[in-house]
Amino acid sequence: GENVEQHPSTLSVQEGDSAVIKCTYSDSASNYFPWYKQELGKRPQLIIDIRSNVGEKKDQRIAVTLNKTAKHFSLHITETQPEDSAVYFCAAKGTSYGKLTFGQGTILTVHP
């Protein structure tokens, strides 16, 4: 089955800096790659996603890139703010309808 590796496990940045989280996946048939943000005591919230026919997608300060050949995708957050502090999860969906395999999570801390 699908295996998703996420790095780093923790990331600490200063406000205004950029943050990058990287994930690799194993199933070349995977075609959907969402990113979720989870604040303490809350459910994971979808922040951005990308499909396999797209190489990059941007939404304001957040961008995701996908390299299908290398089977990796990354989340980029620019101009970080303290409210970006949370746990971020990448995930991949293979050919099985609706089933996501998650990375291990990255604890992002943005220092004011």
Partner 1 sequence: SAVISQKPSRDICQRGTSLTIQCQVDSQVTMMFWYRQQPGQSLTLIATANQGSEATYESGFVIDKFPISRPNLTFSTLTVSNMSPEDSSIYLCSVVEPSGNTIYFGEGSWLTVV
| Closer residue to partner 1 in complex, CB, 74/101 | 101
Q: Could you say which DSSP state residue 85 is in?
A: -
| Closer residue to partner 1 in complex, CB, 65/105 | 105
Residues that bind partner 1 (CB under 8 A): 31-32, 34, 36, 41-46, 49, 51, 89, 91, 93, 97-105
Instruction: Characterise 39 by phi-psi region: left (phi > 0), alpha (psi -120 to 50), beta (else).
Output: beta
Least spacing, CB of residue 98 vs partner 1, in Å: 4
CA within 13 Å, CB half, 51? 2
Q: Could you say which DSSP state residue 105 is in?
A: -
| Closer residue to partner 1 in complex, CB, 38/78 | 38
| Closer residue to partner 1 in complex, CB, 66/100 | 100
Least spacing, CB of residue 66 vs partner 1, in Å: 14
Least spacing, CB of residue 16 vs partner 1, in Å: 29
For 99, the token pair is: 């089933």
From the list 79, 90, 109, the residue with the least C-alpha distance to 24 is: 90
